[in-house]
Amino acid sequence: MRGRVLVVDDDPALAEMLGIVLRGEGFEPSFVGDGIRALSAFRDVRPDLVLLDLMLPGASGIDVCRAIRAESVVPIVMLTAKSDTIDIVLGLESGADDYVVKPFKAKELIARVRAQLRRGDGDQAESLSIGDLAIDVLGHQVTREGDQIALTPLEFDLLVALARKPRQVFTREALLEQVWGYRHAADTRLVNVHVQRLRSKVELDPENPTVVLTVRGVGYRAGTF
């Protein structure tokens, strides 16, 4: 079981409590208390998931997030006290896959963590295409004319979800459920930001997308080629 979780949080009480809850659920937590040591701790621990507080002494959570994302596709879940769009979008844009707003329930946090760790479980050998891209589901590879495009597991899942049903228009809520595992509709900003990030990697011209198309007022669908 992939269960190493790196908790980056400066509040000792919260960190300890997170440790108790994570251990209780069978995870293996390690801790780091400030932003400066976060990256080296990440390299030492090689976690399967990072829980990252956005407000940290030293380097900000946003910087830590960018630094980790620059060298790894490991899932990052942000812990944030701010629910303002600007803060959340900034966190997501810097590479976080999901977020929970303080004060969160233990169950909620565990659900988010499990959803991120489940990614890729039970994938079958399958070949899909979307736009001018080819997807090898089991190999977790996306190629355009033989050139590989590096995606995070979340971006990969998002692309696969669209590619599996090329004729269907997905609402943001449907994508939240399918890709993030939210049972009830949550925050559609997650979808917006990740679609932008996905486009910046897979589209030849992100301003005029041909792979992930926007259906105004409804959601997104796969581009046909």
Partner 1 sequence: MRDLPSPSSIAMALRRRWRRSLQQRVTVTTVLLCGVVVVVIGLILLTQIRDQILEVKRTAAIAQTVNGLRYAESQLAAVDAINGGDVRTTLDRTRLQLTERGGPAGRFDVVMFASVGADSVPIARLNSLASSVPPALRTAVQGGVQSYQLATVDLGEGVSVTALLVGSPIPSSIGDFELYYLFPLDQEQTSLELIQGTVVLSGLALVLLVGAIGAAVARRVVRPVRDAARTAERLASGRLEDRMRVRGEDDLAVLATSFNDMAESLQLQIRQLEQLSRLQQRFTSDVSHELRTPLTTVRMAADLLFAAREDFAPAVARSTELLQAEVNRFEALLNDLLEISRYDAGAAVLEAEPTDLRALVDRVCAATHPVAARQGSELVVAAGGPAVVAEVDPRRVERIVRNLIVNAVEHGEGLPVEIVVAGDEHAAAITVRDHGIGLKSGEAAQVFSRFWRADPSRSKGLGGTGLGLSISLEDAHLHGGWLQAWGEPRRGAQFRLTLPILSGDELTHSPLPLLPEPRRPARTASERV
Question: Rule CB under 8 A: which residues touch partner 1?
Answer: 11, 13-14, 17-18, 20-21, 24, 55, 79, 81-82, 84-85, 102-107, 109, 171, 173, 184-185, 187-188, 216-218
Q: How far apart are CA 17 and CA 204, in angstroms?
A: 46
Minimum Å gap between C-beta 78 and partner 1 is 13
Classify residue 204 by burial, with Cβ atoms within 10 Å: 0-12, 13-18, 19+: exposed
Which residues are 213's β-sheet partners? 221
Minimum Å gap between C-beta 207 and partner 1 is 19
Q: Where are the beta strands (DSSP E) in the chain?
A: 4-8, 28-32, 49-53, 76-80, 98-101, 127-130, 133-136, 141-144, 147-149, 170-171, 212-215, 219-222
Asked if 94 and 69 count as a contact pair (C-beta separation under 8 A), the reply is yes
Of the pair 167, 183, the CB lying nearest partner 1 is at 183
Rounded to 5 degrees, φ, ψ at 131 are 60, -130
Of the pair 109, 162, the CB lying nearest partner 1 is at 109
Of the pair 73, 101, the CB lying nearest partner 1 is at 101
Minimum Å gap between C-beta 151 and partner 1 is 25
Of the pair 84, 147, the CB lying nearest partner 1 is at 84
Minimum Å gap between C-beta 92 and partner 1 is 14
